[in-house]
Amino acid sequence: MAIFTGAGVAIVTPFKENGDIDFEKLNDLIDFQIENGTDAIIICGTTGESATMSHEEHLDVIKACVNHVNKRVPVVAGTGSNCTDTAIYLSVEAEKLGADALLVVTPYYNKATQKGLKEHFTMVAESVSLPIILYNVPSRTGCNILPETAVDLAKNVKNIVAIKEASGNISQVVKLASLAQGCIDIYSGNDDQVIPLLSLGGKGVISVLSNIAPRQTHDMVMEYLEGDRMKGLEIQLSMMELCNALFCEVNPIPVKKGVELMGLCGGTLRRPLTEMEPQNVKRLEEAMRGAGILK
């Protein structure tokens, strides 16, 4: 059984102007997402600026999310690291805090061979009982989970059950789906490729777009999966300009500005991320108006 089907939001982490985590605004964001159809909350991912958090902050945010969601939808906690011991520590603690599943990114900077990836993910998975979503995003990590590696892990490690595929390489996902034959659930990690991945048997998306367009993102997936494929495609195509605007600067700079423009929370970023360039803010505002998100 899939951890979730539909649209999971890779939710931003709101910060106060002094850089502290704004837990009150986090609760508001969670409620906004659930009220608008989001099928899962992915907390402390890349979009949540987890790389700038201390371990204590990281776990405090997971705890706050789990408690506020209160089983309304699954909570998937990002617990990956380029250090296997750290990934194990965060994963074990997230399980204790009540997360429903874990999102574990490939080791970054020091990278790994495919053999190293197998050992890393196996060791993390064996430290917990929660289901695990592998996170493949080579553009950020410099490390690619090959289809053969993902399938081997899914077949040999019982709680490795899914992969967030953000390689952007459709041919790689086709090969993965062909080799897997359903042994691993596939989620799109790219908002501009949701329908293509669903056509290959994907279960949904782990989405940046959903931060500002939760209903549209949910509907895009569910219309397609429930049989109205043209409606799902129509929503995908109507969101393309907004998807492009959301990635005109490094994620999560634009989406953090987007939630600020909607009045959902402040747009404070932690360094090294910096304020969005004015011309790109204008582009984002126009795209949000075009999608009916801003008036």
pLDDT digits (tens, 9 = 90+) for 123-152: 999 999 999 999 999 999 999 999 999 999
Residue 30 pLDDT: 98
Provide CB contacts within 8 A for 36, sequence distance 6+. 214, 215, 218
Please state the pTM of the whole predicted model: 0.97
Mean of all residue pLDDT scores within the chain: 97
Q: What span, in angstroms and rounded, lies between the C-alpha atoms of 248 and 3?
A: 31
Comparing CA positions, the residue from 194, 12, 143 lying closest to residue 186 is 194
What type of residue sits at position 112?
Answer: A
Q: Which of 164, 203, 256, 257 is catalytic?
A: 164
Residue 1 above 90 pLDDT? no
Residue 208 clears pLDDT 90, i.e. is over it: yes
Contact 290, 241 (CB under 8 A): yes
Task: Indicate if 155 belongs to the active site.
Answer: no
Cα–Cα distance for residue pair 222/232, rounded to 1 Å: 7
Q: Is the dihedral of CA 261, 265, 27, 51 positive or negative?
A: positive
List beta partners, residue 54: none
Average pLDDT over residues 202-222: 98
What does the alpha-carbon distance between residue 179 and residue 146 come to, in Å, rounded to a whole number?
11
pLDDT digits 0-9 by tens, 152-187:
999 999 999 999 999 999 999 999 999 999 999 999
Residue 224 annotated as catalytic: no
Q: Which residues, in sequence order, are bridge partners of residue 114?
A: none
Q: Which of 184, 140, 189 is nearest to 169 (CA)?
A: 189
User: Among the options 135, 187, 203, 257, which is catalytic?
Assistant: 135
Domains in the chain, start-ordered, CATH in brackets?
6-229 (3.20.20.70)
How far apart CA 257 and CA 134 sit, in angstroms, is: 28
pLDDT score at 157: 98
Model pLDDT for residues 62-118, shown as the tens digit of each residue = 999 999 999 999 999 999 999 999 999 999 999 999 999 999 999 999 999 999 999
pLDDT of 79 reads 98
For range 263-276, the mean pLDDT: 96
